[in-house]
Structure 1
Amino acid sequence: MRLSQFLKDRQYLILFYVIMMVFISLVVYLDPHFSTGLGNIIYFNTVTIVFFFIYLLLGFFRRRKYVAELQDLTNNDLPVEVPAALPEPLTHEQALIHQVLIRIYQEQLTQIQGLHNEKVENQEFIISWVHDIKTPISASKMMIKHHSGRSPEEALDKLEDELAKIDQYVEQALYYSRVDTFSKDYFISEFMLDAIVKASIKKHAKMFISKKINVDLENVDKTVLSDKKWLAFIIDQIIINAIKYTDQSGKIQFIAEENGSEIRLAIKDNGIGIKTEDIGRVFEKGFTGALGRKFAHSTGMGLYLSKKLARKLGHELTIISEEGEGTTVTIHFPKALDFYQVAK
């Protein structure tokens, strides 16, 4: 920092000093009660100017080191740790500025870390998704090449099963990619819950039939507040999981209950259940658990996406399970007043 820059920063202080000294000198010179000559006034002003200039010089040398260290930071292309790199503040104002800079730096680090984690998660999902979708594609190719010994109806039936799996993975990837832009693509309305449930059951009817799974609907004729499209996806994911982990000739129940604050849709199966040590992690991204790893095509994304989307809709997703006994996943729909309080 040059002296001229330092003086320019203090131009108002210098102007104030000049005006003050001119005023004092005029008062002393013109007041008849003071017998001070012009020479004494010049001497008095000269001394005060010298002291004032010394004061400015001391301030300049004291501040020059601080500014030089800041300039080194701005001219340095290497990454720096802001809290450690900042010079020692000389004033209370500088200390406050340092605190603001450190806070901004820490917030940026948090944002960068969040973006990095999101990038890693997205990359892991893409790798997992590509790996998973290759399985039904490869199976479809094998069926086309080696269809001898099967009737055309049987071959088409098996091919349809693999295409359904591909469709599920594509739909899952589509909803995953739109989670972050959710606020631009939803419409909350009142509708009958049984319509969504029945449509989802019909959509997966072939899976129910192939495993001879019984379906039981109980009091699902309730009116709920939600987005039809996103809720349908959530129910689809829960049904797919329930079918996947339910044995042949099993049973899946859809039970709706209501109290003063909410409507609950419980989707209950009598499948293999979840280990106690895994129950707290089933909504984590990519988590399949000890039992899930025994089954093919267990990506661990269905319940993760369902939980995330449910919360964005103002709902809640809970799960209870006992290994060997079955699993119950419950969607909680708050009543109108509670829903809008959550949405805010």
Structure 2
Amino acid sequence: MKLKVYIRNHILWILGSFLILLVINSILFTSISINQSYKDIIYMDLLAIFIIMVNIFYGFITERKKYDIFFKNSIKSIENIDVKNDYFSEMVKNVLIEQQKRFWMIEKNYRKGINEIQDYTTQWVHDIKVNIAVCELLLDDVESTTSKELRYQVEQIKFRINHILHVTRANHYEQDIGAWEVNVCNVLRSAIKENALFFINKNIEIETDLHPFSVISDERWIYYIFGQILNNSSKYTPEGGTLQIKTKEDEQAYYVIIRDNGIGIPKEDIARIFDKGFTGKNGKIETKSTGMGLYYAKKMAEKLRVEIKLDSEEGNYTEFSIIFYKLSDYYEVATK
């Protein structure tokens, strides 16, 4: 609380004090019956002004302490504040407690609504997967160019549905994150298999040089990160291109390097490639791009204390490096 605020809030009392002093002076100066001494009256005025000023500053300091008690404490500890039978403090305390309860109710309703949407989305995803499975069974009985294209589209639908499911979980990661030993190369092979049809459809050759290693992390989210990067590579690598996937190790970390010889990323877009909804120049070429896949991959990598680095040259290549540091503390990950 500032002094000028205090004065503004008590302006009537301050003006009243000076008005009383003015009236007393008027009486003393105009009264014939009083043998007044101007020096004595001025001395009395100065003394009265001093007392008023002391009263103002004392009131200001006292009231500021009351405000500090409330606003320097956590909102959760307001109910435990001792107001010492002070009417003003009791009033402020009651107002803050009521406002706190209203905020908690709004937050509770908001969380409930979000959880209902999450539950509905999850159930919808699982239901639609049944329909997709039926479509795949029907396609198994058909062999034609059209059926191959349909199968490709079905795989795209499956990928996008899984993306929706992971996005829903990503916004509740504190409830959906685990820690156990993960064989990273096995997870990587599964992610390659999931995206295999996309590479086959464009006749993209995959070259691998994988050396097994394990980390303590969340397998589902590592799988998601790999899947998004591989899918991104399949979009922007031309027909007959090459995708190189390898692992390496040094004293500090394990590295998974995914490099394609696709269209690359313009220099001006590299710094924003992980931004939410950013599609850039290449996104305008690839009309199916939403700019959300890499955003969520980066978001979850940060929560897992996994680093993603990007290097690219327009027209030549794009290289993603997924770095698993050996000294990462997963307990810290799980509690933040």
Cα distance in 2, alignment partners of residues 329 and 271 from structure 1:
13
1:272 is aligned to 2:241: no
What SS does the aligned partner of 1:200 have? helix
Equivalent residue number for residue 281 of structure 2: 290
- In structure 2, how many angstroms separate the alpha carbons of the residues matched to 1:154 and 1:190? 43
**Equivalents in 2 of 1:322, 1:233: separation in Å?**
25
Deviation per CA, 1:97-133: give whole Å up to 9, x if none: 445767779xx9xx9xxx9xx9xxx9xxxxxxxxxxx
Give the C-alpha shift of residue 206 in structure 1.
1.2
* Residue ranges of structure 2 left out of the alignment (5+ in a row): 1-50, 76-95, 115-131, 133-141
Q: Deviations over 1:49-94 (max 9, x none)?
A: xxxxxxxxx99xx99xxxxxxxxxxxxxxxxxxxxxxxx9943242
Matched residue, 2:309: 318
Q: CA deviation at 1:162?
A: 1.7
Is contact 2:182-2:218 (8 Å) kept? no
1:90–1:188: structure 2 CA closer, same or farther, 3 Å change rule?
Answer: same
| Residues 101, 318 of structure 1: alpha-carbon distance in 2 compared, 3 angstrom cutoff | farther
1:222 aligns with one of 187, 205, 213: 213
In angstroms, what is the RMSD of aligned CA positions? Answer: 3.5
C-alpha spacing 1:95/1:288, structure 2 compared with 1 (3 Å): same
User: Aligned in 2, Cα 1:90/1:262: closer, same or farther, shift over 3 Å?
Assistant: same
Q: 1:249 is paired with a residue of what secondary structure?
A: coil
Instruction: Provide the C-alpha distance between the structure 2 equivalents of 1:332 and 1:342, rounded to a whole number of angstroms.
Output: 17
Partner of 1:199: 190
Which residue is 1:91 aligned to? 60
Give the TM-score of the pair, scaled to structure 2: 0.59
Cross-structure match for 1:232 = 223
Q: Which runs of 5+ in 1 are unaligned?
A: 1-57, 64-87, 123-139, 141-150
Larger CA Rg, structure 1 vs 2: 1
Distance 1:97 1:153 in 2: 80
C-alpha contact (below 8 Å) 1:274/1:291 kept by paired residues:
yes
Q: Tell me the residue number matched to 1:338.
A: 328
Change (3 A) 1:188 1:158: same
Task: Note closer, same or farther for the CA distance 1:93–1:266 as it changes in structure 2 (3 Å cut).
Answer: farther
Matching of residue 178 in structure 1 with residue 147 in structure 2:
no
Work out the number of aligned pairs and report it: 224
User: Hey, what does 1:301 align to over in structure 2?
Assistant: 292
Alignment of 1:35-184 (within 5 A): 90-98=59-67, 153-184=144-175
The residue type equivalent to 1:282 in the other structure is I
Q: Tell me the equivalent position of 1:211.
A: 202
Go from structure 1 to structure 2 and tell me whether the alpha carbon gap of 1:89 and 1:315 turns closer, same or farther (over 3 Å shift).
farther
8 A contact 1:292–1:298 mirrored in 2: yes
Matched position secondary structure for 2:328: helix
Residue in structure 1 matched with residue 28 of structure 2 by the alignment: none
SS of residue matched to 1:177: helix
Cα distance in 2 for partners of 1:96, 1:160 equals: 71
Q: Deviation of residue 152 (structure 1)?
A: 5.5
The aligned residue for residue 251 of structure 2 is: 260
Distance 1:236 1:316 in 2: 16
**Cα separation, 2, equivalents of 1:280 and 1:306:** 15
CA displacement at 1:220 relative to structure 2: 3.6
TM-score after normalising by structure 1? 0.58
1:20-56 alpha-carbon deviations (Å, 9 max, x no partner): xxxxxxxxxxxxxxxxxxxxxxxxxxxxxxxxxxxxx
Fraction of identical pairs, as percent: 32
